[in-house]
Copies of this chain bind each other. A is one copy, B any other.
């Protein structure tokens, strides 16, 4: 169903048809429909809430979790307290926390007023974990089993509580709240129903800690191919689990953030279209200003060679090429190393290994580039001295750019900064200055007789 059809059905009060059509849809698709309606001008809040109220209770709550925070807020403001309670009751705790984090204070207090004490406690606990930590993305709803019960008793427990837990296929075996093992529904299905859980559980459990970085959580799940990972506190007690769907979201978010940072954009919370023009400008201007002003250093360096340029104006025409090649070499190295660190393939202790590797790569690249370009200039300008200047400048620039490109992200990591901020634009600015210095110094020395 598209929004035009939804509007038509709403206006003609064909609610039975609308309800049955909506019931055929997936909660995620219903959420996108409601979002589209919220953005379109022909719909008012009245139509939005009317359509939402037509949905069966469970489907309504499930769709709610997939909506963006704008749409959620419109609906919450229109909800009666009873409706709000119904939605929250159906939500998983971690989804409620996600919603709360996006809402203004008055909406938050209304949500908290409409939850029971136990839920409120869990919400507050989750809200207290640091941003982007395992604790902040986990859900507190999981199935735990006592190691002394039988498979039959375990299945009874799953049947009773299963439907309200995010995943039931991996159950966590605890002993005085400490995590001692995991057992999957498949293990239990193929086991005898009188077997004790203790005898069929896996004791080699992969887990993460509440304060671990969410990116590390996603990597660990991907490395061990597991659909849910238990989160334990400092005393090895299980306090929650992170499921594969949240891990996928974490991966995409972290990657999007890295892409933004590497292009000198302050990462935005929303998607491209949902971010307003003003917000886009605000997230782009800071780095542009910083880089623009630091580029004046490069300008200042080139102004130091005005005398040489006045004598041999042609020197100017090779500036973009030398600077560009340096910038490109630097961003190649920094990007590969930032990515390698994000994937946990490169660690800080690999510093010298990386530097040595980049040095050798840079050496090969610089030789190839300087030969190609040196020959080209020799042939087209019939000026071997000039060709030598360019060739040597490229060798110096490429090697320097690759070393700087490799070192800065690792230095950022060592200083507990995000390596991604040391990416392309900053590297380019640093390398620009150095490459001009190298270029003009070499030119001044080799072409000294012409410069008089």
Q: Mark A359-378, 1 if CB is under 8 A from B, else 0.
A: 01100110011001100100
**CB-based contact B424/A331 at 8 Å:** yes
Contact B221 A248, beta carbon cutoff 8 Å: yes
Contact between chains at B320 and A302 (CB < 8 Å): yes
Which residues of chain B are near A291, meaning CB under 8 Å?
Answer: 324-325, 328
Chain B CB within 8 A of A280 CB? yes
- Interface members, chain A 367-407 (any B CB < 8 Å): 368-369, 372-373, 376
- Taking a contact as CB atoms closer than 8 A, the residue among B263, B309, B321, B338 that contacts A295 in the complex is B321
Interchain CB contact under 8 A, B278 and A343: no
Q: A24 interface residue, CB < 8 Å from B?
A: yes
Q: Which residues of chain A in 401-433 are interfacial with respect to chain B, using CB atoms and an 8 Å cutoff?
A: 424-425, 428-429, 432
Known: A224-B26, A281-B365, A324-B432. A316 touches B303 (CB 8 A): yes
Is A15's CB within 8 Å of the partner chain B? no
The reply to whether A248 and B247 form a contact with Cβ atoms under 8 Å apart is yes
Let me know if A287 and B339 touch, CB within 8 A: no
Question: Is the CB of A340 closer than 8 A to any CB of chain B?
Answer: yes
Among the listed B189, B288, B329, B343, which residue makes an inter-chain contact with A252, where contact means beta carbons less than 8 Å apart?
B343
Protomer copies:
2
How big is the A interface, by class? 35 or more
Among A169, A248, A318, A328, the one with the most B-chain Cβ atoms within 10 Å of its Cβ is A328
CB neighbours of A277 from chain B (8 A)? 357, 360-361, 364
Contact at B321–A272, with CB atoms within 8 Å?
no
Which residues of B lie under 8 Å from residue A104 when comparing CB positions?
A: none
A313 at the interface (CB under 8 A from B): yes
| Chain B residues in 8 Å Cβ range of A248 | 218, 221-222, 244, 247-248, 251
A292 at the interface (CB under 8 A from B): yes
Which partner residue on chain B sits nearest A156 by CB separation? B189
Q: Which residues of B contact A16 (CB under 8 A)?
A: none
> Does any Cβ of B come within 8 Å of A225's Cβ?
yes
Q: With a CB–CB cut-off of 8 A, which chain B residues contact A263? A: 331-332, 334-336, 424
Q: A280-B361, A320-B295 are in contact. Are A272 and B331 (CB under 8 A)?
A: no
Bound Cα distance from A300 to B258, whole angstroms:
35
* Cα(A155)–Cα(B169), bound, Å: 15
- B-binding segment of A83-91, A128-136, A158-166, A232-240: A158-166
Provide the main secondary structure of the chain A interface. helix
Task: Please tell me which one of the listed residues B169, B256, B299, B303 contacts residue A169 in the complex, with CB atoms under 8 A apart.
Answer: B169
A335: chain B residues within 8 A (beta carbon): 259-260, 262-263, 265
Of the candidates B271, B292, B353, which one forms a contact with A369 in the assembled complex, judged by CB atoms under 8 Å apart?
A: B292
Known contacts A169-B185, A256-B339, A303-B314: A298-B324 contact under CB 8 Å: yes
Q: With A289-B369, A303-B316, A317-B300 in contact, do A252 and B252 touch (Cβ < 8 Å)?
A: no
Contact call A281/B313, Cβ cutoff below 8 A: no
Is A105 among interface residues, defined by CB-CB distance under 8 A? Answer: no
Q: Does residue A448 face the partner (Cβ distance < 8 Å to B)?
A: no
| With known contacts A316-B316, A320-B432, A323-B320, A288–B328 Cβ distance under 8 A | yes
Q: In the bound complex, what is the Cα–Cα distance between A373 and B299 (angstroms)?
A: 13
Q: Which of B186, B249, B336, B361 makes the CB contact (< 8 A) with A281?
A: B361
- Given A28-B224, A329-B288, is A306 in contact with B298 using a C-beta cutoff of 8 Å? no
Q: Tell me the residues in window 178-230 of chain A with beta carbons closer than 8 Å to chain B beta carbons.
A: 185-186, 189-190, 204, 206, 218, 221-227
Please give the distance in Å from A225's CB to the nearest CB on chain B.
Answer: 4
Is there a chain B Cβ closer than 8 Å to A441's Cβ? no
Chain B residue nearest to A270 (CB atoms) is B345
- Please, which residue of chain B has its CB at the minimum distance from the CB of A311? B310
* A425–B331 CB distance below 8 A: yes
CB–CB B306/A314 < 8 A: yes
Other-chain contact of A251, B185, B204, B251, B373 (Cβ < 8 Å): B251
Closest 8 CB pairs of A and B: A263-B335, A303-B317, A298-B320, A225-B245, A281-B364, A299-B317, A306-B313, A295-B321
* 10 pairs, CB–CB < 8 Å, chain A vs chain B: A162-B190, A244-B248, A263-B336, A263-B424, A272-B336, A272-B337, A277-B364, A288-B328, A288-B365, A303-B316
